[in-house]
Structure 1
Amino acid sequence: MSAYLGERLREIRKRRGLTQRQLADLSGVSLSLVRKLEQGERTDTRLETARALAHALKVPTTHLVAAHAEEPADEATVRSWAPVHAALAAPAGTGTLDEAPTYEGVRDALRSAVPLFAHDRFTELGTVLPSLLRDTEALTATDVRGRPLRARLLELTGWLMTQTRQFDAAELALDRAQDDATDGVQRAATASVQCWLLLRRGRLAQARDLAVRWSDEVEPRMSRATPGELSAWGWLLLRLSAAAIRDNRPGEADDALRLAHSAAVALGRECTPEGDFLRTFGPVTVALKRAENAMVADRPDTVLSLASRIPADTLKPTSNNRNRHLLDVASAQTQLRRYAEAVDTLQKIRAGSPQWLPNQRYARDILDRIVTRRRTLTPEIRELADVVNLPV
């Protein structure tokens, strides 16, 4: 964000006739942090902090921040995925040289790889994904049937790169997936992942605009909509809601959630169209996102109240929606000083998705707050701090 946040913060605060102390009291942000931001001693802060300041100043978050990206992957992570990056960037038509891939072979290989994506098996994906990308590229050059396979694989790869905070590679993969998509529902599903990437990069306005455009384009007739259409539309509305709440537009966020809920009601249950785990959608998914919005709005009591009524354990332990929700629960527990419960919640995530948790900046921030506030650290807390790579 550079010095942009401090400059805008000072300008808007003065326009509102507030002192630094008054702004700190209204926003819940410490006076020392307000001073450091305005003086340029701190040039970065969490998006949730920027939103709290914007809410107190009664402006959208984007009025304060030009962009607020999550921390990208470190060099070691990028190096470990270098073969995937190379396969993504390979010229068109490049593929396996010793034996031409067949449609059936590539189709079956993709089917076998999907569970690795769904279960966050990052180590195995790092091994199989480069050759699968090359084979799919080579197949598409000679067989038109390979195009939807490549679109699907590129969408999954873009999702994976976003998950591991390799944002430039994710953008490349998702742009190519859009080019290859052969039907509207597939394109809408890819657009949903693109919205998620924009959210993680802090590009709230772009995420909001993309979600609005695609949700308008694919809005179905409820009386005859397919599960795939309802899921695609519902997810785009959830992305819109996520962008709006982070941009301090709570009314717009609530409106989008209500529409998403109507799509979930039309489905009647959690549904996974065509067996695609990225499109799983229904009443539970909407409830999880409602709790997420409450956490962004800094209402930890509401988060825990909503969580108590959400059957999150009906979702698979490897479900990213479930695990993201549990991070919100752990964050709320931490804010309310229920540290032992927060640690138990983080351990629950770790047990189900041990390769997913270390990639979550959110988890690191939660552990940081726990470590800072606790006088003594249990062996369990110290171990979790190492798992999420919390700096010493």
Structure 2
Amino acid sequence: MSVVGERVKNARKRAGMTQRDLARAAGVSLSQLRKIEQGGYEPRLETLRSFAVAMNLRTSALQTTPDYEIPDSDTESQWHPVLHALHGNMTDPDEPATPDGVQAMLDTVQAMIAEDRYREVTALLPNLIRDVEALDDARALKFKTLNMVASLLAQTRQFEAADMVLDRALEASETAVEAATAIDTHLWALLRQGRLDDARTMAVQWADDIEPRFSRATLQSVGMWGRLWLKIANAAVRDNQPHEVEDALALARAAAARIGRDVYVERLLGRTFGPLEVSYIAAESFVIAHEPEKTLAIAAKVPAPSIEPAGASRMRHKLDVANAHTQMGRYSEALEEFRGVQRTAPEWLVQQRYARDILGQIVGRRRTLTPEMRELANAIKLDY
């Protein structure tokens, strides 16, 4: 029996439930539960959350290992030159690096990220890393570069490399708020791995450390503090802690109300904070809690974004809407949301395990697939 299987079995017995009771309450098949308890396979985080809800436990009480995908061979090949550059294996430049030249390249990268041109960004990174490392007394540029690289590594599921780069970014940071933007990257990586306790503990610590005085604080400090509370809400809903979700969202809303509009917290990566970002996370929390009607009610009221209309937060929200439609059996509406994201951000979409999970549910309920569905499944590398 695996450790997680034994935890599920022991928790079920303490709850006074039979296997049939737990399977029914969690919405899984009896055979699936039996395989899990016998160590037949490691369940996904979403399945463990369903068990936790049925037994009124934290999801993390059942967890034993992280839950994430490894990068595919195409991604590894694409990033190989970048990893070489990060380890100092670089050719000499044709001419000396300058702060103005590095800033110009960062401006170019920012525009590419906003336009979903991630493959082109990756091709620029080796020279950018080489140039910024060659500069003396350019900590701000070094921090921005390393934080951006770490974020892209986390997006492409290269978590160990992301951790290494984030450590270097934190060394280059000059203020607590600036360091918190790197912690924001780290928290996102932890959540992508299903490391709920680690994410929550770190987010709470940093929210306490940088808590702003609203009467004097800068917009960036208030926004960064608000983003940390959104990460706490992210971790709490996955860990089956609904009251903690409500408290975290309330504090994030207070920060958003203080700012009054959506603003950039980290412009290079397109990270924003404000009322719209809070609405996105509230909608996400409801769909994770399997309350899709509430997700769709929020989605119907959110305005078009004034900044980053094709940013990752907006695209993630569209996937949450697709998931809500899927939970309600409205597959045509879900596919329409998918098509919109695929048209807008295909390079971002292919890195999202969440997209494969949602489309996998739709495909699993179909006896045959339309050509359009097969095309979409192939585009996001869904194994079906």
- 2:26 aligns with 27
Find the aligned partners of 1:19 and 1:169 in 2 and give their Cα distance: 43
State the one-letter code of the partner of 1:13: R
Note the residue ranges of structure 2 that are not aligned, 5 or more in a row.
none
CA change 1:59–1:268 in 2 (3 A) is: same
- RMSD value over aligned CA atoms? 1.7
State the one-letter code of the partner of 2:199: A
State the one-letter code of the partner of 1:283: P
Find the aligned partners of 1:315 and 1:327 in 2 and give their Cα distance: 19
Query: Paired residue for 2:140, among 148, 153, 157?
Result: 148
TM alignment of 1:65-76, pairs within 5 A: 65-76=63-74
1:48 aligns with 2:40: no
**What secondary structure, in the 3-state scheme, does the structure 2 residue paired with 1:272 have?**
strand
Find the aligned partners of 1:41 and 1:274 in 2 and give their Cα distance: 44
Does the 8 A contact of 2:187 with 2:203 survive in 1? yes
- 1:123 aligns with 119
- 1:79 aligns with 77
State the one-letter code of the partner of 2:345: S
Find the aligned partners of 1:265 and 1:175 in 2 and give their Cα distance: 33
State the one-letter code of the partner of 1:11: N
1:220 aligns with 2:212: yes
State the one-letter code of the partner of 1:33: Q
Find the aligned partners of 1:135 and 1:274 in 2 and give their Cα distance: 21
Does the 8 A contact of 1:117 with 1:160 survive in 2? no
Does the 8 A contact of 2:224 with 2:265 survive in 1? no
Query: Paired residue for 2:190, among 195, 198, 202?
Result: 198
State the one-letter code of the partner of 2:60: T
Does the 8 A contact of 2:106 with 2:268 survive in 1? no
- 2:105 aligns with 109
- 2:325 aligns with 333
Note the residue ranges of structure 1 that are not aligned, 5 or more in a row.
none
Find the aligned partners of 2:265 and 2:358 in 1 and give their Cα distance: 34
* Residue deviations 1:303-351 (CA, integer Å, cap 9, x gap): 1122111225655442110111111111111111111111100000011
- CA shift at 1:390, angstroms? 1.1
**What secondary structure, in the 3-state scheme, does the structure 1 residue paired with 2:95 have?**
coil
Query: Paired residue for 1:263, among 243, 255, 264?
Result: 255
* Residue deviations 1:345-376 (CA, integer Å, cap 9, x gap): 00000111011111111111111111111233
**Which stretch has the larger CA shift, 250-259 or 29-38?**
29-38
State the one-letter code of the partner of 1:348: G
Find the aligned partners of 1:133 and 1:186 in 2 and give their Cα distance: 19
Find the aligned partners of 1:185 and 1:150 in 2 and give their Cα distance: 16
Does the 8 A contact of 2:114 with 2:308 survive in 1? no
- 2:88 aligns with 90
Find the aligned partners of 2:225 and 2:206 in 1 and give their Cα distance: 8
Find the aligned partners of 2:100 and 2:357 in 1 and give their Cα distance: 45
Number of residue pairs matched by the alignment: 384
Find the aligned partners of 1:289 and 1:166 in 2 and give their Cα distance: 24
Find the aligned partners of 1:371 and 1:332 in 2 and give their Cα distance: 16
1:382 aligns with 2:374: yes
**Which stretch has the larger CA shift, 130-139 or 114-123?**
114-123
- 2:60 aligns with 62
- 2:17 aligns with 18
- CA shift at 1:274, angstroms? 6.9
State the one-letter code of the partner of 1:202: G
State the one-letter code of the partner of 2:25: L
Find the aligned partners of 2:117 and 2:304 in 1 and give their Cα distance: 21
Does the 8 A contact of 1:96 with 1:135 survive in 2? no
CA change 1:313–1:104 in 2 (3 A) is: closer
Does the 8 A contact of 1:312 with 1:322 survive in 2? no
Does the 8 A contact of 1:95 with 1:135 survive in 2? no
State the one-letter code of the partner of 1:59: L
* Residue deviations 1:244-274 (CA, integer Å, cap 9, x gap): 1111111112111100000000111111247
**What secondary structure, in the 3-state scheme, does the structure 1 residue paired with 2:347 have?**
coil
**What secondary structure, in the 3-state scheme, does the structure 1 residue paired with 2:350 have?**
helix
Find the aligned partners of 1:11 and 1:224 in 2 and give their Cα distance: 51
- 2:349 aligns with 357
Find the aligned partners of 1:95 and 1:217 in 2 and give their Cα distance: 41
TM-score by length of 1: 0.94
- CA shift at 1:277, angstroms? 4.5
- 1:288 aligns with 280
